[in-house]
Structure 1
Amino acid sequence: MKYTAYRKSDPYTLYEIEGTTKNLAAFIATRSPFENDFYIFRDGRLFLTLVGFFIDRAVDKDFLAYELLPVLVPMQQREVPIPTVNMTKKYVNKQREDVLL
């Protein structure tokens, strides 16, 4: 499984993130506080929204509470090192309509 992320301010850039919880947490933890408009999709559906390096909205509250936050919070508090994010960054020709919500 992979996660797909777009920025509302840059719908032509696609981030394909390897689908592990640790890798997703590393992606979130390495965002700039000024990148306040990330939309993250799983299986083609909106999954998370970010404000900077913080989660704004989560569709799957159980995943957030029991899987993602226990990995993400120690990274954000610098209790554990943030691993390198396994992802690819692509540029697409067509603007994503779902990002313009």
Structure 2
Amino acid sequence: MDYPYLIGYVYSEEGRSEHFLKATPTNIASFIVKNSPLDVIQITTPLDTAFISTRAGFIDYCADQEFLRNELLPVLIPMQMGDTEPPEVELVPENEMNSMDEEGLDSLEF
């Protein structure tokens, strides 16, 4: 994964909530599972580019199909089936994001 964190948006009856997630397959899977299966989830890069979206607990879009197939689904499916307990979602504190941006985004090639 090229980013130190991702931004997860959860759209529910109460409105939209925003979460800054550590960008690991297990953490992304846990975030998806721990949010209501009836909610809409959109996960973006720090540059606000769409990465993953879900509806009713199912992924309906993923920008990186290789990541989806080889890294995310192998940890997501056991969590969704109840075979694996989803761990606590690791959130990035806002005060750490600036230093992560400087370290992580500066190393990206455009």
**What is the TM-score when the length of structure 1 is the normalising length?**
0.76
Q: Percent identity?
A: 32
4+ runs of 1 displaced by more than 4 Å? Answer: none
Tell me, yes or no, if structure 1 residue 72 matches structure 2 residue 76. Answer: yes
Whose Rg is larger? 2
1:18-57 matches, within 5 Å, as 18-35=22-39, 37-44=40-47, 45-57=49-61
Where is the strand percentage greater, Structure 1 or Structure 2? Answer: 1
Aligned length: 88
Pairwise CA distance, 1:31: 1.6
**Any idea what the Cα deviations from partners look like across 1:25-44, whole Å, max 9, x if unmatched?**
10011121221x22111242
Where is the helix percentage greater, Structure 1 or Structure 2? Answer: 2
Contact 2:32/2:41, CA 8 A, preserved across alignment: no
Letter in 2 for 1:38: I
Q: Counterparts of 2:75 and 2:36 in 1: how far apart (Å)?
A: 18
Letter in 1 for 2:41: F
Letter in 2 for 1:5: G
Q: Higher RCO, 1 or 2 (CA under 8 Å, sep at least 6)?
A: 1
**Any idea what the Cα deviations from partners look like across 1:40-63, whole Å, max 9, x if unmatched?**
112421101110222111111000
Segments of structure 1 that go 5 or more residues without pairing to the other structure are: 91-101
Segments of structure 2 that go 5 or more residues without pairing to the other structure are: 95-110
Contact 1:47/1:58, CA 8 A, preserved across alignment: yes
**What is the TM-score when the length of structure 2 is the normalising length?**
0.70
